[in-house]
Structure 1
Amino acid sequence: MTDRECLELAARLARDAAVAIMAVRDAGVTVTRKHDRTPVTEADHAAEALIVRGLRAATPDIPVIAEEEIAAGRVERPGERFWLVDPLDGTREFAQGRDEFAVCIGLVAAGRPVLGAVALPATGELFLGLRGAGAWKQDATGRRPIAARRPPPEGLTVFASRHYADDPRLVRYLAGLPVARVRNAGSALKFCRVAEGVADLYPRFGRTMEWDTAGPQAVVEAAGGSVRTTDGAPLGYGKPGFANPDFVCRGLP
């Protein structure tokens, strides 16, 4: 299967998972806790089952690393190429009735994300990125190319994590930058707004996992932006334990 075909596969599965998530939301959400005390819902499990089943059927030679399987103790060994799946990024927002949640699917090769699909179920938006080919947004009006922007003269629009809004590390990082506004939001939505040129900067201080970022990073980088650690190194994949360091997502310099 070509990378373009893999992208369309990820797009279809992200859309289908979005439908499944919204069906759970409409029926009423029940929240339980995983062993690490983070929340999980039936929507997380339903979306993940749909996605991993589709990926394994279509690309049986590519390992799938998925958040809820990891939580349950099922860990596939990453290969040269592997999928990373967060079936419901922003479970806390989803459980609270907010619209800031996402479905994230990314394909990694040689430690770098090569393509990604990110669905925002509550808004009906789908963001796609393929390294070397470009990035797109799909909604009710169709699919169109998107691109990261250069910061406007009035200053940076910054998106920051809702749950780390008062983090002193964020305050120190933004000090001295020409910031026009700061918006707090949950989930991979923040990456998407940078990729489509609505925002300029998303600094992340605090725990994230590879499945949270692989698909969104692919979209941002395909749109011309960048995702790097705070010391300037590329954010890579296949790390022991799959935990990310702090990073900065930005549009064009």
Structure 2
Amino acid sequence: MIEKVSYIARAAGAEIMKIYNGNSKLDAYKKLDKSPVTNADLLSHKIIMCSLRSLTPEIPVLSEEDITEWQACRDGSCFWLIDPLDGTKEFLLRNGAFTVNIAFIEYGQPIMGVVYVPAYDLLYAADNGKVWKINYRRERINIAVRTSSYPMIVMSRNDVNYDQHHLYNYLKKFKNYKIINIGSSFKFCLIAEGSVHFYPRFSCTKIWDTAAGHVIAKAAGAIINDWEGNSLHYRNINRSFLNPGFQVSSY
């Protein structure tokens, strides 16, 4: 299954890159919540939805671009949770830090996930507690979190609503650190491979933004908790589809 899902993510990413590279026309719009969406988002969504419905027709799918099956996902034991193009702002800024996210949720927990970074041809995957990345040379590399006395802290480029007081208190526990800003679920993957060590999120996110990256980081040894110390989960979902603030930590 994970190989088939990886293929689906790559297929969607290939179509995204046709638009990103200018081989196909880019159309951008604003949603009702003022967030951006492009024809690349919608094309990726169509590819993934059709593929998953063919692969597992009995399992509902919840996508950022189609929430019609959300009650079936809430009430059932399992569902697919996807973000066809996570980091649309990054896509429009042309900085490469956007991803295709596909996760499988069972009893509120993400147990399988793929994050594909099409601009860099990097694929991260986790299944049955194992995690790996496949680089642009198609080399499969096992990955794991790492610790450092000079930790790298990664934060969202667009997380502008966080409380500066909370950020100040958070950073006080580090003696030496460096902050970098990257969009999308790529942040989870960088922690999973040991390139960075902490990802604090002070504002809410949508569940499709985190699920695939969550299972990858967790399988690599990361801890993903909200600010109350509770594990991030995907059960009892409602029409807001919101996660609380959280931290991803390598130790």
Same fold (TM over 0.5): yes
- Give runs of aligned pairs for residues 199-214 of structure 1, distance below 5 A: 199-214=196-211
Alignment match, 2:4: 9
Counterpart residue identity of residue 184, structure 1: N
Q: How many residues align?
A: 242
Q: Which residue of 2 aligns with 1:24?
A: 19
Q: For residue 137 of structure 1, give the secondary structure of its aligned residue in structure 2.
A: strand
* 1:75 positional shift: 3.8
Deviations, residues 86-137 of structure 1 (Å, cap 9, x unaligned): 00000011012121101100001011100100001111100001142x1110
CA distance in 1, matches of 2:59, 2:223: 26
Moved more, 202-211 or 82-91: 202-211
2:41 aligned to which of 35, 38, 44: 44
User: Unpaired segments of 5 or more residues in structure 1?
Assistant: none
Report SS of the residue matched to 2:41.
Answer: helix
Moved more, 172-181 or 34-43: 172-181
1:164 aligned counterpart, secondary structure: coil
- Asked if 1:235 is matched to 2:222, the reply is no
| Deviation (angstroms), 1:194 | 0.1
State the alpha-carbon separation in 2 of the partners of residues 51 and 208 from structure 1: 22
> What are the within-5 Å matches in structure 2 for residues 55-204 of structure 1?
55-70=52-67, 75=70, 77-78=72-73, 79-132=76-129, 134-141=130-137, 142-149=139-146, 151-153=147-149, 155-164=150-159, 167=162, 168=164, 169-204=166-201
Change (3 A) 1:62 1:178: farther
User: What SS does structure 1 have at the residue aligned with 2:43?
Assistant: helix
* Equivalent residues of 1:165, 1:184 under 8 A apart: no
CA contact (8 A) 2:155 2:200 kept: yes
Would the aligned equivalents of 1:156 and 1:181 in 2 still touch at CA under 8 Å? yes
CA distance in 1, matches of 2:246, 2:41: 25
Q: 8 Å contact 1:158–1:179 — kept in the other structure?
A: no
TM-score by length of 1: 0.91
Partners of 1:109 and 1:166 lie apart in 2 by 31
Letter in 2 for 1:120: V
Distance (Å, rounded) in 2 between the aligned partners of 1:181 and 1:152: 11
Identity %: 36
In 2, Cα distance between equivalents of 1:165 and 1:68: 24
Measure the CA separation in 2 of the matches of 1:31 and 1:45: 10
Provide the rounded CA distance (Å) in 1 between the counterparts of 2:151 and 2:5: 32
Deviation string 1:12-45 (CA, Å, 9 cap, x unpaired) is 1111111010011123432101111110000000
TM-score by length of 2: 0.92
Query: For 1:44, what is the secondary structure of its paired residue?
Result: helix
Q: Identify unmatched segments of 5+ residues in structure 2.
A: none
Whether the 8 Å CA contact 1:63–1:76 is kept in 2: the answer is no
| Residue 165 of structure 1: how far off its partner (Å) | 5.8
Note the C-alpha offset of 1:76. Answer: 5.1
Structure 1 stretch displaced more, 241-250 or 38-47: 241-250
Give the superposition deviation at 1:190. Answer: 0.6
